[in-house]
Structure 1
Amino acid sequence: MVKAPEPRLRSLDGLRLLAALMVAAYHYGGRDGEVARAWGSSPRDQFPTLHSYFAYGCLGVQVFFVISGFVICMSGWGRPLKSFFASRAARLLPAYWAAIVLVTAVFALPVVAYEAVSPSDALVNLTMLQQPLGVDRVLGVCWTLWAEVRFYALFALLVVLPGANRRRVLLFCAGWMVAAAIARGAHEPLLDIVVMPEYAPFFVGGVGLYLVHRDRRDVYAWSAVAVGWLIGQHEAVAALWRPASADAFAHRTVFGIVLVVTLGFAAVAAIALGRLSWVNWSWLTTAGALTYPFYLVHEHLGWPVIRMLHGVLGLPARMTLTFTVLGLLGLAWLIHRFVERPFGPRLKRTLTSA
């Protein structure tokens, strides 16, 4: 029997959107690269003070992974493997395919002046396997989806397939963290691909927080959360901290990285414990629905929008940033309304009945 859906946690939808906006702030004003061509100069010149804060926006990805651990454990609990697979595919693929087609088409326009991937590589991108195949990516953010897909596969095979229960989920968390530690010491590329030691602590922390949501007195669940946070902050610092340098775009401090990671864990923990149950505004459901399509398209399609608003129309940088985010949220709504809503349920029914 398929379980009845749990009440929607609208505060989690709000946190999703906040994490997506963090990543957008990073892509638009927290680093150099292609976005500097859109602005006409380094974002450091456009946002002399804010750029150093925007540089921490990349940690929105780690917050996403904690949320994903929570949501996937909740989604897989009491659900057969076919239903779990169908729900994940229906959630990810329609908007993803639409984003691939849209970004490829826009970048093929001569007026956009950004290099598009080859038609062959664009077709491979439809499989979500471009990352391990070494194919040029249409969407800059799709590397995070490759991490998500591997998490789904591990959770499906080790938890959903045999049947989710507290003991099995705890063993999954403990086994994954031990495997991640071994992978760090082994320096074996295949093990790194499967176990994902740099991201595993965040997924495990989120899974542990779902167990806390079910029983806040569960000491073992809290232990999984604590280990996820302890190792996660280390992985984030190791990946994102660099010594201060005059040539660096922005210097992220160890304290700043640990603080953002801690706040991400704390926010999901507050939701798990019901401390944010008062955050129950109906519009957050829409915000949660827009988060995924916005996340997919915001980076690459944000570049031509910034170039038009700032370079052609001459709008100030902060106004350009605001209008770009709002415009891409509007596009995300269109993708949700005309792609996800009609085609997601159809795909789910097709896969469930196959």
Structure 2
Amino acid sequence: MRVLSGLQQPLPPLAIPEQQKPAQRPVRVRHAVVRERVGTRLYAIDGIRLVAALMVAVHHFAGTDRADRPGNAIWDRPVSDIMPNVFRLATYGWIGVEIFFVISGFVICMSCWGRTPRQFFVSRVIRLYPAYWFAVLFTTAVLVAVPGVWERLRPQEILLNLTMLQSGSGVGNVDGVYWTLWSELRFYLLFLAVVATGLTYRKVVVFCCVWGAAAMLAPVSGFPLLELVANPEGAWYFIAGLALYLMHRFGQDLLLWGILAMAWLMGQMELGVRIDEVEHVSSWRGSVLIFTVFLLVMVGVALGLTDRIRWKWLVTAGALTYPLYLMHYAAGTAVINRLRDTMDARLLVAVVIVGFMVLSWLVHRFVERPVAGLLKRGLDTSFARLRNAG
């Protein structure tokens, strides 16, 4: 199966890098001079990320039939019976994963422009690992304190999870949502090759076309390594984000619209596969409609239609997204399982989500920021020593 089934692979936000501020200067594209857009922070993207994270959380708690399967029961009866109106909407929340992949492609390209491979590597390490390390330890502690809902991994497997490379070693995830990080890591590895040569409009376009072709051929090639590297399940969402960023930086043109259209066409097929193999409860039409609306909103962001949105609180909202995504699923469903008879189901879901948002802010403030600073200083010193030794 191309998408893992059951609770081992629930559907993710991902670690989106801080938005950079590229300089404003003329750039020549296709024999026409266009002006790069001012590199101010795109507040709208922070808001979209939070919405996507909440979509995923509500889906996991109230929008999937996996939540009430025998042996993995979160609720004591089908969610569709407990809160039918919430269930009908929450069944589509898994699309937040695809939304995150598109945003990741957009913001990774933006944040890497003008950076060296060393800077790219350091930025990914300090962005991904601090909150992730905390999430692994936090989730493990919760599952020890609240046994019976999830099966815990062996100690050696939990320790391997701290590397974030467990999927490549055939080891399970402490929390099923970590599967998306494996997809992200493969994207970073591929894109690093472009970063190493210096990002330009032409190189990113060629990368999109080559990667798209590989992702298209991989499932029928009979080469597992090609399928692993090409990541056909996620490739076209990242490609859509890359094309959208090129629109934002250099302006729209027919080639970029063509890449985006191809990403939509391939993406809608992947949505159908996900519904058939995992979700089952949502419709293809509704899923494609939501995904299409999201892409249109991102086109608006790319073309500057949302530049007037400058609400400062959105920066905080964006900062909550990654810790919230990492911590909410296994720990949240275990808590719901224990408290499901204490209050109204809808209120319980709301309370749990708000609680994890508060915890996410605390993790961002007291874990991510200080640990990221320490890691950056340490890595910068190590690379400086390595350079001098060479």
- Give the TM-score, by structure 1 length: 0.92
Q: 1:196 to 1:114 in 2, by over 3 A?
A: closer
Mapped pair 1:299 → 2:367: no
Structure 1 counterpart of 2:375: 347
Contact 1:30 1:43 in 2 (8 A): yes
Structure 2 counterpart of 1:238: 273
Q: CA deviation at 1:234?
A: 1.3
Q: Counterparts of 1:145-294 in structure 2 under 5 Å?
A: 145-157=181-193, 159-241=194-276, 251-294=281-324
Q: CA deviation at 1:113?
A: 5.3
Q: Which runs of 5+ in 1 are unaligned?
A: 243-247
Name the aligned partner's letter for residue 76 of structure 2.
G
Mapped pair 1:25 → 2:53: no
Q: Distance in 2 between matches of 1:35 and 1:153?
A: 38
Q: Distance in 1 between matches of 2:47 and 2:279?
A: 30
Q: Distance in 2 between matches of 1:212 and 1:274?
A: 10
Q: Distance in 1 between matches of 2:211 and 2:149?
A: 44
Q: CA deviation at 1:349?
A: 2.6
Q: 1:170 to 1:110 in 2, by over 3 A?
A: closer
Q: 1:334 to 1:315 in 2, by over 3 A?
A: same
Q: Which runs of 5+ in 2 are unaligned?
A: 1-19, 23-38, 383-390
CA displacement 1:159-180 (0-9 Å, x = unmatched):
1001100010000001011111
Contact 1:241 1:252 in 2 (8 A): no
Name the aligned partner's letter for residue 242 of structure 2.
V
Contact 2:146 2:335 in 1 (8 A): no
Q: Distance in 1 between matches of 2:40 and 2:183?
A: 27
Q: 1:103 to 1:35 in 2, by over 3 A?
A: farther
Q: Distance in 2 between matches of 1:207 and 1:114?
A: 37
Q: CA deviation at 1:297?
A: 0.4
Name the aligned partner's letter for residue 118 of structure 1.
R
Q: CA deviation at 1:26?
A: 1.2
Alpha-carbon RMSD across the aligned residues, in angstroms, is 1.9
Q: Distance in 1 between matches of 2:21 and 2:286?
A: 41
Structure 1 counterpart of 2:137: 101
CA displacement 1:286-331 (0-9 Å, x = unmatched):
00000000000010111233234432xx211111111111001011
Contact 1:51 1:250 in 2 (8 A): no
